[in-house]
Chain A
Amino acid sequence: MNQRLLLVAVLFPILGLAALIGRAELNLRSGRTWELPISGYDPRDLLSGHYLRYQYRLEWSQGASTCGDDGDIDPECCLCLQPRPGSREPLVHGVRCDAVDGCLSWLRGSDVAGQQRYFVPAERARELEQALRDRPAALRVSVTDDATLAVDTLLLDGVPWQRAQNGR
C-alpha cells in the first residue's frame, strides 16, 4: 500500500509538469497567430538580467473606442482584434468584455496592460535591449478562442530575433 502511494506521489509531479507543457503547447498551436508591436518598457531589469521588459504598442482603429493609450491599457477593458490588409499586425478597438462575439480574436486588457516580460539568454540581454530600442519589434503570439494569449517569439524587423541578430 505504502509503495503504491509513493508511486502515485512521485508520478503526480511528472504528470503535472507534462500537463503544464501540454497546455502551453496547445495554446501556442491551437490559437490564431498575430504579430503585436512592442517597445521597451524601461531599461532591462538589471536585477535579473534574464528578461526584457516591454509593453505592447497596439494600433488602434481610427474613430473606434480604445482601452487607453499605447501601453497604458485599461485592465478591465477587452480588446477586439481584426485583420489589417497587408499586415500581420491587427487593428484593435476596445469593447465591453461581454460583447466580443464579432471579433476575430479578442484579449483581456489585463493580459496586455503595463509591463510584460520576455525571457532571453543572459549573455545576449544587453544586445537585445539595444535592438529593442533601435529597431521595430513585435511579438508573434497565438490567441485562442477564449482569449488565452501565448507568446511565441520576439521579432526584430519582422523576423525571429535569433535570425535577425545573427545576420548582422
Chain B
Amino acid sequence: MQVDRKLAEWQNAGLLTAEAAAKIREYEGHQTRPYLLYAIGGLGALTIVLGLVAIIASNWESIPGGVKLALDLVLAAALAAGLVIVDRRGIDWLRETLIALYWGFVLASIGLISQVYHLGGATWQALLVWTGLTFALVTRSRSPNLALLWVLALHTTYFMALEPLARTRLAPEGLVVGLVGLAPLLCLAVATSAGIRRLRPNFHHAFAGFGWFEALAMTSAATFAFYDSPLDSEQLESFATTATIAAAIVVFLMVRADRLVDGHREAVLPVRVLLALFIVLGYGPLLLAANKQELLGALVFIALWAVAAWVGYATHNARFLNLATAVIGMRLIAVYFEVFGSLMDTGLGLITGGLLTVALTWFWARKRRELATRLDAANTEPESTP
C-alpha cells in the first residue's frame, strides 16, 4: 500500500517514530472505504434489475401495460424498503449501492410509463421529472459522486431544454447562446448558499465544482469570438438580454464572494476579478463582434487563466494552480502558430515563444520553494474553489 511505503520511507528518514507510524496506519485503516465491496455489490444489484427489465422487455407484447406498470411499482417499493432496512442495520456500502440503483430505476420507470402510454414529450421533460423526483433521495446519499451525477443530470436537462427552444420562433439563436452561459453562474449562485454548504456539503461541492469548471471553459471558448464572431446584429439584441441577467448574477456572486473561497480571505479579491472576467470575456467578445482580433483573443485568454492561477495561489490549491499554469503554457505555444504566417516568421516566433516559455519555467522554479511553504502552511485543497 502507498501509505505503508510512505510511512516506512519517513521512518527511515527519521521523520516519524514507529509509534506515530502505527497510529497513522490504524487511523488510515478505519478511513479506508471498501470500494471493491461497493463495486461488486453495485454490479450484482444492477445485474438483477437489468435481468428483470430484460424479462419485461422480452414479453413486451404478452404482458399487459397495467401489469408492467404494477410490477415496476412493486420493484420500486422493494428497493425503497430494502434501502430503509439496510440503513437501519447500518450497512453503508449496500445503502449507497441501493440509492444509486433506485436513482437509475426511477428514470427507467419514467421511460416505461412513456412507452405504455405513448407519451410524446421531449427528453428534457422526462429528465426534469426524474431529477425532481429523486432530489430528496440523492440528498440522503453520503457519496460525493452521486451528488456530482445528480448535478450533471440537472445540467443535461437544462441544455437539452434549450435545444427545442432554439428551434422555435420564440427564442432567437442569440438568446439560446446567452442562456447556455447562465448555467455555470447559476451553479455558483447555489454554491454560495450557507444552508446547502452546512447541510449538504456534497451538493455544495458539486455545484461549485461544475460552476467553476464550466465558467472557465465557456469563458475560454468565448475568447475565440475575437477570431470570428458567430452572432449577427439581429441575434445580438437577444444575446444582450441574457448578458444583462448574467451581469446581475455576477454582481450577486461578487457580493457573496467570501462564500466561494472556503475561508481564504485573501482569495476574495482574485475571485471577484475572475467573476468580473466571466462577464467581460464571456459575453463581451460576442457583444463587440470584433472579428479578426487574434492577438487580443489570445492575450485575454492568457489573462483569464493568469487570474485563475492567482485564485489557485490565494486558495492554496496547488493542483488548480498547476493546471492554470499548464493551460497558459499550452495557449502560448498555440499563439506562435496563430500569429506568425510565413515559415521564417513562424520560425522566429517559435524561438521567441520558446525563450518566453523557458523564462516562465525558470521563474516558476525559482518561486516554487516559496509557493510550497505557503501551500504547506494550510495544507488544504478547498474543493469549493476551482
Contacts and interface: CB of A to CB of B under 8 A. Distances in A.
B87 A3 contact: yes
Given A13-B137, A122-B60, A3 B88 contact: yes
A12 B117 CA distance: 22
A117 B120 contact: yes
A14 B76 CA distance: 7
A10 to B, nearest CB: 4
Q: Interface on chain B toward A: helix, strand, loop, or mixed SS?
A: helix
16 contacts: A3-B84, A6-B84, A9-B139, A10-B84, A12-B137, A13-B106, A13-B134, A16-B132, A16-B133, A20-B113, A20-B129, A24-B113, A24-B119, A111-B120, A118-B118, A119-B115
A7 interface: yes
Given A6-B140, A20-B113, A124-B61, A11 B73 contact: no
A119 B110 contact: no
A18 B100 CA distance: 20
A150 interface: yes
B62 to A, nearest CB: 9
B69 interface: yes
Q: Interface on chain A toward B: helix, strand, loop, or mixed SS?
A: helix
B219 to A, nearest CB: 35
Interface bracket on A: 20 to 34
Contacts of B132: 16
Contact of A6 (B83, B106, B110, B119): B83
A162 B63 CA distance: 13
Interface of B: 60-61, 69, 72-73, 76-77, 79-80, 83-84, 87-88, 102, 106, 109-110, 113-120, 129, 132-134, 136-137, 139-140
B87 A6 contact: yes
Contact of B102 (A5, A13, A50, A124): A13
Contact of B113 (A9, A11, A17, A111): A17
Q: 9 nearest interchain CB pairs?
A: A10-B80, A151-B118, A16-B133, A24-B117, A9-B136, A121-B60, A119-B115, A121-B61, A13-B133
B73 A17 contact: yes
Contacts of A122: 60
Contacts of A12: 133, 136-137
A162 B110 contact: no
The residue among B72, B77, B102, B133 with the most chain A CB atoms within 10 A of its own CB is: B133
